[in-house]
Copies of this chain bind each other. A is one copy, B any other.
């Protein structure tokens, strides 16, 4: 496997997919999620799971399904001044139905705006309190004259299902890399359509490769989705050797990697090494129990080695949870950069073998095997030689290639190439993986 096999066009394809998913009104349950997963199924043969309302999932139960047909506000002249079809953020997500004529004062009690960004529409939810509400620009709200307004939200709660998608790329072992991304947000491009699109395309790409690990992709509503998956896969969770939650995948900020609860898990070190080797600014954040679904994967009863790969973290860009998180805010080159780095992480994990030096007493004679560069200069040769010496010196069975790359402070790819050369000259052999 090599990330060179990722077509340069993937970034563009991802952005087009984001654009296709953008208009759909998703929520934690309902038709929006189903439509989204149907589009993802055009790319990968996703299994779609439907879990009935009321199913117990640890301390929770699967909620009722929420769907919405239309919503609007009309002024006293009968003109539609807000239409859900224009922008699905206009309705508070999970809003109760309403059909009423209300004075401006009452409308304002159910209206959310962003006074600091008067032309943006906020995204609000009301999952845990049954109420109705509209979101609109502050400029529009301020311009509304006194009078009565006809508000309509044609939504419905019903016993139905929670829907999520799952796709496994089988590797040669049952050990798994888990990639989880949330599918419950409506028209918000960075949070999280970029993550959905990139996951789908990375899954398709990995599916064409020969892999050591199995890669399990989850497309799930946040919180209840991961809780549902964990409750249905309790016995399988221990197969997860590494994992990433993908979110905020396409904005122009630097990559922020939030470490797993374990802090020094292989996935944590792998991501940080890839980001370090890339030579671009990045941030490694300590784990905290607030954020995306890593909260559930890292709960103490599971404590899976799952980190969160983001560009700018949630809440730290002004466009977060507003109508400004749109198709212009995420760019193909940023999604592409995120994909490239995640694929490099997978490549590192695939290649992170532990080798045994077959000539551990003194250095083997590299010269007679043609592994030494000729007399003098060329720096590339010197650094390759140094990488070989590091691999030989540390391959005593206790150090993986990642351990070696970290201690040598050399790029992982260089260490890996050196190990391959040495193995091809019968100077190293792979240590069979230790079962934990």
Contact = CB atoms under 8 A, between A and B. Distances in A.
A124 B375 contact: yes
B230 A368 contact: no
Given A261-B393, A288-B408, A390-B289, A299 B372 contact: no
Interface string A294-330: 0110111111000000000000000000000000000
Nearest to A361: B301
Given A390-B288, A393-B261, A296 B362 contact: yes
Per assembly, the copies of the chain total 3
Given A300-B357, A375-B124, A395-B300, A364 B59 contact: yes
A126 interface: yes
Contact of A126 (B58, B375, B408): B375
Nearest to A393: B289
Interface string A260-292: 010000000000000000000000000011100
Secondary structure dominating the interface of A = loop
A394 B296 contact: no
A374 B129 contact: yes
A306 B126 CA distance: 53
A367 interface: yes
A372 B408 contact: no
Nearest to A261: B393
A368 B61 CA distance: 11
Interface string A50-71: 0000000111100000000000
Nearest to A399: B300
A61 to B, nearest CB: 9
Interface in A99-138: 124, 126-129
Contacts of A231: 361-362
A322 to B, nearest CB: 14
Interface string A225-237: 0110011001000
A203 interface: no
Contact of A298 (B296, B301, B393): B393
Contacts of A288: 386, 389-390, 408
A396 interface: yes
20 contacts: A57-B362, A58-B359, A58-B361, A59-B359, A59-B364, A124-B375, A128-B372, A129-B374, A230-B362, A231-B362, A261-B393, A289-B393, A298-B393, A299-B361, A299-B363, A300-B360, A300-B392, A300-B394, A300-B395, A301-B360
Interface of A: 57-60, 124, 126-129, 223, 226-227, 230-231, 234, 261, 288-290, 295-296, 298-303, 357, 359-365, 367-368, 372, 374-375, 385-386, 389-390, 392-396, 408
Shortest 10 CB-CB contacts between residues of A and residues of B: A301-B360, A301-B361, A300-B396, A289-B389, A289-B393, A59-B364, A128-B367, A300-B360, A227-B362, A296-B362
